Structure 1
Amino acid sequence: MTSPKTVLITGTSSGIGLAAALAAAEAGWTTIATMRNTGKAEALLKAAEENGVADRIQVKRLDVVDPESIAACLDEVIAEHGRLDALINNAGAAQVGTIEQMSLDDVRTAMEVNFFGVVAATRAALPHLRAARGRVITVTSVGGAVGQPFNEAYCAAKFAVEGFMESLAPVAATVGVDVTVVEPGAVASEFVANIGLDVPALLAAAGPYAPAMEAYLGRTRDAFASAQTPAEAAAPIIEALTGENPAFRVQTSEWAREFVGTTLADLDGSAVQALTRAWVR
């Protein structure tokens, strides 16, 4: 008998990653659900039990900013399952602030987690994905297509991921590996809560940017009040995982499609600037 296909997903302790792990297991895949701190696996394991897929989900430690952790995890997967058919790069971290009030270390941290972590995991997985003629699916963001106020570092990292994957896709295709980026908009998950923002302190430290920051935070609160659920955002990821000939770029909602469409059709940049400037006044 052919062994079940195996997918490794990063950042599965909550939100989209947790929902994608459950959905992949429900689709019949052996699902390697990874996270930096496996002590946070309780929510995933409980949901897997409740959904009857606990036997198809295996939690492993993987820290995307630690190449040795990535290599060790992949070695275990191949030793235990003999194959890797797909990688879903989902791990990420938000970073709110404007550059004058951020340190360069803050920016480097955002790039390490959101960009270099994706590069490192993809690089390590590609030999196995070539052997399986598999797939790389990367959760980016609408912020990887539209630069957003007070998200300079985060959007820079997500833009970099999109450029990396768009460049890799035709090369990977020559060896049988499909590449897809998935662009969510606002998702009701712990991702935003995990930023740990102290809003009063943020505004107090914003100096001349305080009015713009206050306007931005108000707009963002409104956006997340009508956000997608993690399960809704994960559905297109699973379609890219299981469907034939997945598209390179996929959005997770009609709002995300319209939003990303703004920049893809905006040859001189004026439409995006008109849109995002309204967020800070």
Structure 2
Amino acid sequence: MTTSDRIVLITGTSSGIGLAAAVAAAGAGFRVVATMRDTGRSGALTEAAEAAEAAGVADRIEVARLDVTDAGSVAACLADVVARHGRLDAVVNNAGAGRVGTVEQDGLAPVREVMEVNFFGVVDVTRAALPHLRASGGRVITVTSVGGVVGQPFNEAYCAAKFAVEGFMESLAPVAATVGVAVTVVEPGAVASEFVASQGIDLPALLAAAGPYAPALDAYVARTRTAFDQAQTPAEAAGSIVTALTAEKPPFRLQTSDRARAFVGAKLADLDGSAVQGMTAGWVV
């Protein structure tokens, strides 16, 4: 079977890594179902269409609505894709939401919201896709983050959700392999995309509400701005997703850059946690 016969569904494709991954996968020959929560969002469809046209792959990308937090939407989208194409060869779980804050100030509601999108949404899409991926010998590829390996200050909810996804996928991988489905997590570091802007951070208001945590938050934001000055482009990060789609035997864990590999490597070699704590403590002073 050629890649042009293979169907890949990608979540969260209205911008950033998801949009770049849709274009890159189509460029690699896949037929792409590019999903987003709100297909009527101003500019999203135009941006996706323009990117696809510019890459010469518009005929291999279709846009569909999928809200990963709505079980009915997940079931309907997967059923429609299989009904129209007769198969599903890969799912790329990319949809996600960020959160900057700390639990004493924020309470539980934002934590639950981030978990719904970043964890439970991934679980539900994966669950719904697995029967079809078993039939095709397909792949589950999930965009997590270096924040799914290294806990980061003021990212408690986001990192908790990404840690949960990593644990879920690491546990699922050997089970899925017994029925012919490969599982990979893709771990980007800093990526220059709308993901950061979409958090809608009002820094003065955030600092004003931070109380005793304001000095640490101010230091964290200053450090993070520096990190994003050296960020990858979404297209660079999407290259790793295409690698996971096309490799004969994709790895379980795949970082998107040398910086991401070094960052994750520091944690994986840190048996007592002191190295990571020493590193991240310097971000808040």
Whether the TM-score (by the shorter chain) exceeds 0.5 is yes
Alignment of 1:1-281 (within 5 A): 4-39=5-40, 40-281=44-285
In the TM superposition, residue 49 of structure 1 has moved relative to its aligned partner by 1.2
In the TM superposition, residue 103 of structure 1 has moved relative to its aligned partner by 2.0
- The secondary structure found in structure 1 opposite 2:99 is coil
For 1:178 and 1:41, locate their aligned partners in 2 and report how far apart those are by CA, in whole Å: 31
For 2:173 and 2:156, locate their aligned partners in 1 and report how far apart those are by CA, in whole Å: 25
- The secondary structure found in structure 2 opposite 1:188 is coil
1:7 maps to a residue whose letter is V
Runs of 5+ consecutive residues of structure 2 not aligned to the other structure = none
- The secondary structure found in structure 2 opposite 1:84 is coil
For 1:270 and 1:234, locate their aligned partners in 2 and report how far apart those are by CA, in whole Å: 32
The CA RMSD measured in Å over matched residues stands at: 0.9
For 1:164 and 1:184, locate their aligned partners in 2 and report how far apart those are by CA, in whole Å: 18
Instruction: List per-residue Cα deviations over 1:132-169 (Å, max 9, x = no partner).
Output: 00000000000000000000000000000000000000
For 2:85 and 2:16, locate their aligned partners in 1 and report how far apart those are by CA, in whole Å: 26
For 1:79 and 1:52, locate their aligned partners in 2 and report how far apart those are by CA, in whole Å: 26
1:173 maps to a residue whose letter is A
For 2:192 and 2:134, locate their aligned partners in 1 and report how far apart those are by CA, in whole Å: 35
- The secondary structure found in structure 1 opposite 2:95 is coil
1:4 maps to a residue whose letter is D
For 1:55 and 1:187, locate their aligned partners in 2 and report how far apart those are by CA, in whole Å: 28
For 1:181 and 1:81, locate their aligned partners in 2 and report how far apart those are by CA, in whole Å: 26
Instruction: List per-residue Cα deviations over 1:190-233 (Å, max 9, x = no partner).
Output: 00000000000000111100000000000011111110000000
2:5 maps to a residue whose letter is P
For 1:102 and 1:205, locate their aligned partners in 2 and report how far apart those are by CA, in whole Å: 10
For 1:184 and 1:151, locate their aligned partners in 2 and report how far apart those are by CA, in whole Å: 15
1:212 maps to a residue whose letter is A
For 1:78 and 1:207, locate their aligned partners in 2 and report how far apart those are by CA, in whole Å: 51
For 1:28 and 1:81, locate their aligned partners in 2 and report how far apart those are by CA, in whole Å: 15
2:143 maps to a residue whose letter is V
Given the two structures, how large is their TM-score scaled by the length of structure 1?
A: 0.99
Instruction: List per-residue Cα deviations over 1:57-88 (Å, max 9, x = no partner).
Output: 00000000001101111111011100000000
Number of equivalenced pairs: 281
For 2:74 and 2:45, locate their aligned partners in 1 and report how far apart those are by CA, in whole Å: 18
Of stretches 157-166 and 96-105 in structure 1, the one that deviates more from structure 2 is 96-105
Of stretches 59-68 and 39-48 in structure 1, the one that deviates more from structure 2 is 39-48
1:55 maps to a residue whose letter is D
- The secondary structure found in structure 1 opposite 2:5 is coil
